[in-house]
Structure 1
Amino acid sequence: MIGDGGPMEGTAINVAEFFAGIGLVRTALEPLGVNVVWANDIKEAKFDAYLANYPDAREHFKVRDIRLVKGESLPEGIELATSSFPCIDLSLAGNRVGLGGTQSGMFWQFARVIKELPKKPRVVLLENVHGFATSHGGKDLADALHCLSGLGYSLDVLSVDARHFVPQSRPRMFIVGIDKEDLPKNAHVGVPEVSKARPAWVTAIHKAHHESIAMHYLDLPALPDGPSDLNGVVEHDVSSAAWWDERRVKAFVDSLSDGQLARFEALRSANALSIRTAYRRTRKGVSMWELRRDAIAGCLRTTGGGSSKQALVELGYTREPRIRWMTPREYANLMGATEYKLLAGTPNQQMFGFGDAVVVDVVRWIGEHYLLPVLRPDNAAGDEEPAEAE
């Protein structure tokens, strides 16, 4: 049957936050009326960061391997379950062993816990990298969709790049599952039209599966354009000691390819100050630096070493270039967590936490335009123009 919003309109939306990390899903959704009643992650350092921002987490955050979590141990009345399960086995930069891997395979443990709950959540929201869609030729995603459908959910797939909200290129895919017996009246069946939130590869997923499992889609507003530079996120009062010395800057320049060096010199000689980000890459076995072509950041990564950290480069007016590592606060700003307190952990642990998190603005956009209209239609914003097909 078609749901009418359920019996709990006007009350808080109780949420279980699986693979909670440092809590940016909570940061995104709490202003919309979400109440996190249970959270879980395996890393103590992430819990410390979460706790520093949400002191009540001591009561509901379980630092525990999800394989040891039993559904009956979760509180009753959970309406939404979120899951940003590990991406390393699905990422194009990872080992690509897929859902059979020890990390990304934790998806199956999330599904098991949901199955064990006395009453399943009305909605589930999963987030991962685009590589999920192509892992093992699409079989891993198909298996996950069939699993979630078997738990009683109708499914929708979205793709949102964080660059629509923050100056960071960070494309991620989302799966929204709604209880098949509680689909809103405005849910559509069939294949959605191509849009920025549902590019052609996403509509192909709908086309491939909508006849074999329950799938739906909701109309969504157009994604915003997003910022075009880093001015709003960069710290301008960083200590002079943070900037690299002449020897280190020279090593950076010497590592650039001919094409990269031409880009570097063009920016350095321009009559304007440019701020660019750079990553170390390995090309034909050689480590070298590469500047981004545009003026936003590359996708933040978990900081396990120097090659995973992003550098900030200031160029212009033919003066000597300035280069330094990005700071934890800049990482936080790039993740939309501008008010997040950096009180726990080392700088590397803080950057690791942000590199492994969701972008606040992206999840809040999904919350405002998808989750809230489903779970609390009376509290949702007024009707908005749907995105046009592109």
Structure 2
Amino acid sequence: MEAKSINAAEFFAGIGLVRTALEPLGVNIVWANDIKQAKFDAYHANYPDAKDHFKVDDICNVEGSSLPSSVELATSSFPCIDLSLAGNRLGLVGKQSGMFWQFTRVIEEMSTRPRMVLLENVYGFATSHGGKDLTDALHRLSGLGYSLDVLAIDARHFVPQSRPRMFILGILKEELPKNAHVGVPETSDVRPAWVTKIHDSHHEDINMHYLDLPGLPEGPKDLRAIVEHDVPPGVWWDEQRVRAFVGSLSEGQAARFETLRTAESLSYRTAYRRTRQGVSMWELRRDAIAGCLRTTGGGSSKQALVELGHGREPRIRWMTPREYANLMGAADYKLVAGTPNQQLFGFGDAVVVDVVRWIGKNYLIPVLRPDNRPGDE
């Protein structure tokens, strides 16, 4: 007998990478929402049925009673701009990250609350306003009837991109599985010390639990698997622009650049443009993976790809939308909607497919369909 699919609602759906992650596990998106038309266009290009259930609107205009009563899982990658260490740090009182409260309002208004919720945001959520924002959020979710767990996962365990994110998982208290633990978990790669401290601080006044989870994979060490090799010749920067790049490097950066350029093997590095003491300069990453992809809003938000080795002249260019897709674990995602900049923005604002799928396989499915846990691929 075929297992019944899990109906889910995808809040702040963006370009649909939560769906990309969970659909192969038997999760069926029956409702989705985002405020940006360009993100819906990309989502719809990959999932044509989105026209039937995707609501392009401000979440403030969404009423919980309008959502299907069959929803078992609600996912929410609410805006991080007010929580990020690189942002304004307004926290949950900010206009963007404050949309958390709208998400919980909709959940409260639903005729039948989802059995589970999955929220994703930056590590800065844990320290915003000295931890008060996270405490308030946990109290709010607990008040809606959920027992809560917190995870911290860096996408570098799955893809060659450093992208640390925290996840809050809520299970309706009456549906906690028998293998759920109450108390403070031991430190692990998914629950480092700062996460266990959250459990230690709140497990007595907030409904909290934890489940045993496997360790994370080691992850790739370089960018070779994600580089798009057949880009048009004109995409690579001209000699003058390359010289300007090299000329902006600090002494230490220039030494690293030259070591890589004269190496016997070919390698790739990513680089960001930074402002140091009022001067714009380029900086190579120390390791061979990408920095955290961001929404494209300025020079420092975009990453350049640098090809070095064999003593040859270096080649430098902006990373492509396909490379962004690869870095987000979405190698098969169709890039047929929107401008290249809109595509970069969409991926920079999304979740990493492999991370959410790992959570789905090891947490969501075992709770929601304990008799239908997918095997390792």
TM range (shorter): over 0.9
Check if 1:47 corresponds to 2:47. Answer: no
- RMSD, matched Cα: 1.2
Q: How big is the shift at 1:43? A: 0.2
Query: Who is 2:313 aligned against?
Result: 320
Cα separation, 2, equivalents of 1:50 and 1:72: 24
Higher RCO structure (Cα 8 Å, ≥6 apart) = 1
Cα separation, 1, equivalents of 2:374 and 2:310: 47
3-state SS of the aligned residue for 2:48?
A: coil
Q: Is the 8 A contact 2:25 2:374 kept in 1?
A: no
Q: How big is the shift at 1:284? A: 1.7
Check if 1:132 corresponds to 2:118. Answer: no
TM-score, normalised relative to structure 2: 0.98
Query: Who is 1:386 aligned against?
Result: none
TM-score, normalised relative to structure 1: 0.95
Check if 1:282 corresponds to 2:275. Answer: yes
Cα separation, 1, equivalents of 2:321 and 2:9: 27
Cα separation, 2, equivalents of 1:360 and 1:350: 16
Amino acid aligned to 1:155: L
Cα gap change, 1:382 to 1:297, in 2 (>3 Å):
closer
3-state SS of the aligned residue for 1:372?
A: helix
Query: Who is 1:100 aligned against?
Result: 93
Give ranges in structure 1 of 5+ residues lacking alignment: 1-8, 384-390
Q: What are the Cα deviations for residues 91-143 of structure 1, in whole angstroms up to 9, with x where unaligned?
A: 00000000000000000000000000111000000000000000000000000
**Correspondences of 1:128-167 after superposition (within 5 Å):** 128-167=121-160
Query: Who is 2:229 aligned against?
Result: 236
Query: Who is 1:362 aligned against?
Result: 355
Which of 110, 117, 123 matches 1:117? 110
Amino acid aligned to 1:54: Y
Query: Who is 1:266 aligned against?
Result: 259
Check if 1:330 corresponds to 2:323. Answer: yes
Q: Is the 8 A contact 2:11 2:32 kept in 1?
A: yes
Runs of at least 4 residues of structure 1 off by over 3 A?
A: none
Amino acid aligned to 1:317: H
Query: Who is 1:81 aligned against?
Result: 74
Query: Who is 2:341 aligned against?
Result: 348
Cα separation, 1, equivalents of 2:281 and 2:172: 49
Q: How big is the shift at 1:308? A: 1.0
Cα separation, 1, equivalents of 2:236 and 2:320: 11
Give ranges in structure 2 of 5+ residues lacking alignment: none
Query: Who is 1:57 aligned against?
Result: 50
The number of residue pairs the alignment matches comes to 376
Q: How big is the shift at 1:254? A: 1.0
Q: What are the Cα deviations for residues 209-243 of structure 1, in whole angstroms up to 9, with x where unaligned?
A: 00111100000011000111111110111111111
3-state SS of the aligned residue for 1:28?
A: helix
Cα separation, 2, equivalents of 1:284 and 1:133: 30
Q: How big is the shift at 1:382? A: 6.3
Cα separation, 1, equivalents of 2:65 and 2:48: 25
Amino acid aligned to 1:360: V
Q: Is the 8 A contact 2:156 2:162 kept in 1?
A: yes
Query: Who is 1:186 aligned against?
Result: 179
